[in-house]
Structure 1
C-alpha cells in the first residue's frame, strides 16, 4: 500500500505515524534502507524539515538507525516507552522559526533600550559559552543566559517567560537527538561568533543591525540542523552538563 499524501500542513508526529505504520505493515522490513528524505517529502507532500524531524522521532523510538554515509535503516522495535515520551515534544525546527520571529524584534528593542550594565551581562553570557565549550560542554548555559538577557531588556515578563520556554525546548528528545547528529565544537564556535555579532549590533544601538544579526543567527541554527547527514561520524559531541533540577 503506497504512502498517502498529507493534504494539509501537519506536524512531524503525523508523518512519523505514517512511516511507522508502513514499517509495521512490512513495506520496509527490518534491515532495509528507507528512501532519501527528499523522496519521502515528495511522496508525502510535505517539507523536507518535517520529514527530518519524523525520522529523528523514529530514531528516538528505536524504529530506525542512522548510519552515517549510508542512510537510514529500519530496526527491530525497541522496548515501548519512547513513543509516549515524544508525544508532547514540540517541533525543533518550528521552534527555531518561532524564536527567529520573536527574538529578532527583541534584539532590535534591546539596541534602543539596553543599559550599560545589561550589555555587560551579555558579554558575561558569551564568556560563559566560551568557558563551557573550552571545558568540553555543550554551551547551552551561556546560550540561554544570552537570549533571556536580551528579553529582559523589554521589561516584559511575558516575553521573558516565552523566550525561556522556547529555549528550553532544546531539552526535548527530538532536539537532543538532532544535536547529537549535527552539533559539534566547530558548529558551536560558529554560533558563539554569531552571538558576538548580535552583541556588537546592540552595543552600537542599531536596531536594524541587531534584528538582522539575531535573525541570521537563528536562520543559521535552523540550517545547521538541516545539513546533509555527515559522510562519516562527526567529532565526538561535547559532554552535555547534568541537570541540577
Structure 2
C-alpha cells in the first residue's frame, strides 16, 4: 500500500493530508479497503488514537466509510458524478453513445498531448507495459480481456497527464462504460479485422507518447475514437437491417 511514515509532530492532521492526497491523485480508489488499524498505524508511524482521529475526520467529510465487520473503505465518491436517473437516460438514448465518444475524443486528445509532455519515466513504463499486455491478449483472442486492458490503457494516459480533475471525471465515465451504459466494449473486439485495427491504433498512441510528440498523440487518439464511432454506427445499421429482415421473414412465413 502506498503509505509513508508520518513525522511524530504532525500526527492526525498529517494522516488526513496523506490519505486525502492519495485519494485526490487516484492512487487510493473508490471502494478500496484500507489496511487494518494496527497495520496502518505501524505503516504511518502514528498511534492508534491519532489514526482514529484522522479516520473519523475523513469519514465526517465523506471520503472514508466504515463497513460493519469489514473495515474502512474509500467512499464511492464517484458514484455521485451521475444520478441513477441520468445513467438510465444515457442507456436509453442512442445519441448519448455518440456524445460520449465526442466527449472522449476531446478530453483524451488533450490528455494524450499532456501525457506526451508531462509523463514521468514511470508513467511511460506503465503505458508501455499495458500496451505490451494488450499485444499478448490480442494473440489469445479473449475479447473481455482486450476490452479491460483497453480501458486500463486509456486511463493510464489520463493519469499520466497529471490533471486530477480530468482523472476523476474520466474514471467516472469509464465506470459507466464498464457497466455497459454506453456500449459493450467486448463487442468491439469480436471481429478479427476490427481487433487488428484497434491494436494498431493503440500502438500508434503509445509510440507517440513514448516519443513525447503531443501533436501525434492527439492525432492518434482522434483517429482511434473516430474509428470506434464509425464501427458502432455500422454495427447499429446492421442491427436495424437485421430487425427489418426478420419482420420480412416473419411476414413471408404467415403468407
How high is the TM-score relative to the length of structure 2? 0.51
Q: Secondary structure at 2:142's aligned position in 1?
A: coil
The alignment status of 1:132 with 2:140, answered yes or no, reads: no
Over residues 129-179 of structure 1, what are the superposed CA-to-partner deviations in whole Å (9 max), with x where a residue is unaligned?
223333332212211111111111222222112222223333325512x86
- Judged with a 3 Å threshold, the aligned counterparts in structure 2 of structure 1 residues 185 and 204 are, in CA distance, closer, same or farther, namely same
The alignment status of 1:168 with 2:213, answered yes or no, reads: no
Structure with larger Rg: 2
**Match of residue 223, structure 2, among 189, 192, 216:** 216
Number of equivalent positions: 148
Structure 1: unaligned runs, 5 residues or longer: 1-84, 233-245
The alignment status of 1:121 with 2:129, answered yes or no, reads: no
The answer for the alignment partner of 1:146 in structure 2 is 153
Answer yes or no: is the 8 Å Cα contact 2:113–2:215 preserved in 1: yes
The answer for the alignment partner of 1:111 in structure 2 is 116
How high is the TM-score relative to the length of structure 1? 0.53
For residues 49-68 of structure 1, the aligned pairs below 5 Å read none
**Match of residue 203, structure 2, among 196, 202, 211:** 196
Q: Secondary structure at 1:229's aligned position in 2?
A: helix
RMSD over aligned CA atoms reads: 2.8
The answer for the alignment partner of 1:102 in structure 2 is 107
Over residues 40-62 of structure 1, what are the superposed CA-to-partner deviations in whole Å (9 max), with x where a residue is unaligned?
xxxxxxxxxxxxxxxxxxxxxxx
The alignment status of 1:229 with 2:238, answered yes or no, reads: yes
Over residues 7-60 of structure 1, what are the superposed CA-to-partner deviations in whole Å (9 max), with x where a residue is unaligned?
xxxxxxxxxxxxxxxxxxxxxxxxxxxxxxxxxxxxxxxxxxxxxxxxxxxxxx
CA distance in 2, matches of 1:94, 1:105: 17
Larger % of helix: which? 2
CA distance in 2, matches of 1:185, 1:103: 25
Answer yes or no: is the 8 Å Cα contact 2:109–2:217 preserved in 1: yes
